[in-house]
Amino acid sequence: MKAPHFWSAGLDPRSREAAPLTRLLLSPLAFAYRLGVQNKLDNAVPVRVGIPVVCVGNLTVGGVGKTPVVAAIRGVLTAQGVRAATLSRGYGGGAKGVIRVQPGTHTAADVGDEPLMLAASGESWIGRDRVAAARQMQADGVQVIVMDDGHQNPSLYKDLSLVVIDAAAPFGNGHLLPKGPLREPVSDGLARAGGVVLMGAGDVPGAALQAGVPVLRASVAPTGAVPGGPLVAFAGIGRPIKFFDALTAAGADLREAVGYGDHHVYSGSELKFLHRLAESHGARLITTTKDHVRLPQAEQQRVLAFPVAARFEDAGALDALLAPIITSANT
């Protein structure tokens, strides 16, 4: 789905885009949503499974660069000799139960796009029941679980929770779902965090400073050179503009850019339209790796992917946060 305009920050609250009447009508639903989240968190007894769990979550819906951060953290742990694996809910996939994701065997329709993308660079599991999945991973020999999302899911005990924040759009209009993009009040979410990962350029949000937690800066950068020649880009992620801007910053000759909602499943007619659009510019199609794994296999051969990775400005700060996790995994 695409985020409504009125979720954005900085709009005149009286303007049509800010939809003041819509926001007013949604206020009771936002209040009910807050009570539901708070009740779930207050009454849960998180389960320990015997191995450390690092949760990488966020406070808003939509793309903040969370999954590349998950992959980067798993990579740091793996480089230290720890068997680390990611755990995702498997959003968008139809497979049931706990599954270790296997590229070439599973598709995005089976396990979801993000777990399949994570499986391309390391060990990746899915399970809607986080506790059951964690127990099976522990039994299989996984030493550290890096959970992709789940900051608002209290079922599994978290040894370290990192909240990823988009520096360019930290908390949208500051309201809870469905009145705004927040999953919970900012102060509540940061109170359970062991650190903040601030993605991209921008000031550290005042709420993060007030929380008194470590703030690590990171950004998403391409892992290779941008393809030459004219390109037409498309993306179905939380904020497609971030992908288009990244291509332009990398020097792409970008002729057109088409955005879709997060986790968008492309129809045959949409793909035909995109190919015709590229042909009209004498260009090739390019998309994100997350979108690429959702394409039919035949389309994957025709469409370029632009892989990116999360880079931390201060790798030592991340190492310091993860040191107790590594020690625990090795004892």
Count of beta carbons in the 10 Å neighbourhood of residue 166? 22
Q: Do 264 and 173 lie in a common domain?
A: no
- Pairwise CA distance, residues 191 & 305, whole Å: 38
pLDDT score at 243:
92
The CATH number of the domain holding residue 317 is 3.40.50.300
| Cβ–Cβ < 8 Å for 88, 126 | yes
pLDDT score at 303:
98
Widest Cα–Cα separation across the chain: 60
Count of beta carbons in the 10 Å neighbourhood of residue 124? 29
Give residues with Cβ within 8 angstroms of 105, minimum separation 6.
none
Mean local confidence (pLDDT), 229-256: 94
- In the chain, the amino acid numbered 193 is A
Using the structure block, give the residue that is written with the tokens 């992709």: 148
Q: Do 158 and 294 lie in a common domain?
A: no
Cis before 20 (ω within 30): no
Mean local confidence (pLDDT), 219-239: 93
Give residues with Cβ within 8 angstroms of 79, minimum separation 6.
none
Q: Do 144 and 177 lie in a common domain?
A: yes
Q: Do 67 and 111 lie in a common domain?
A: yes
Complete DSSP assignment for 241-265: HHHHHHHHHTT-EEEEEEEE-TTPP
- Pairwise CA distance, residues 66 & 54, whole Å: 13
Residue 261 covered by a domain: yes
Q: Do 208 and 271 lie in a common domain?
A: no
| Listed residue (3, 9, 2) closest to 186, CA to CA | 9
| Listed residue (230, 48, 67) closest to 149, CA to CA | 67
pLDDT score at 96:
94
Residue 19 has pLDDT above 80, yes or no: no
32's tokens: 């009910």
Q: Do 164 and 194 lie in a common domain?
A: yes
Residue 26 covered by a domain: no
Q: Do 102 and 215 lie in a common domain?
A: yes
Q: Do 241 and 112 lie in a common domain?
A: no
pLDDT score at 238:
84
| Listed residue (53, 19, 39) closest to 184, CA to CA | 39
The number of CA neighbours under 13 Å toward the Cβ of 257 is 17
Q: Mind listing the pLDDT tens digit for each residue in 150-203?
A: 999 999 999 999 999 999 889 999 999 999 999 999 999 999 999 999 999 999
Structural domain span for residue 126: 53-220+311-329
Residue 3 covered by a domain: no
Residue 12 covered by a domain: no
pLDDT score at 13:
64
Residue 10 has pLDDT above 80, yes or no: no
pLDDT score at 15:
62
* Number of domains the chain contains: 2
Residue 1 has pLDDT above 90, yes or no: no
Q: Do 114 and 82 lie in a common domain?
A: yes
Mean of all residue pLDDT scores within the chain: 94
Q: Do 179 and 319 lie in a common domain?
A: yes
Residue 38 sits at the vertex; the CA angle it makes with 34 and 44, to the nearest 5 degrees, is: 150
Q: Do 91 and 175 lie in a common domain?
A: yes
Residue 144 has pLDDT above 70, yes or no: yes
Which run of H or of E encompasses 36? helix 20-43
| Cβ–Cβ < 8 Å for 213, 193 | yes
Residue 12 has pLDDT above 60, yes or no: no
Task: List the beta strands (DSSP E) in 10-122.
Answer: 53-57, 84-88, 99-100
Residue 320 has pLDDT above 80, yes or no: yes
CA gyration radius for the chain?
A: 20
pLDDT score at 5:
78
| Distances in whole angstroms, Cα of residue 13 to Cα of each of 8, 27, 114 | 11, 14, 35
Q: Do 215 and 235 lie in a common domain?
A: no
Using the structure block, give the residue that is written with the tokens 């900051």: 151
More confident residue, 242 or 195: 195
SS3 of residue 142 by DSSP: coil
Residue 33 covered by a domain: no
Sheet of strand 308-312, all strands in order from the earlier edge strand to the far edge:
99-100, 123-126, 84-88, 144-148, 53-57, 160-166, 195-199, 215-222, 308-312
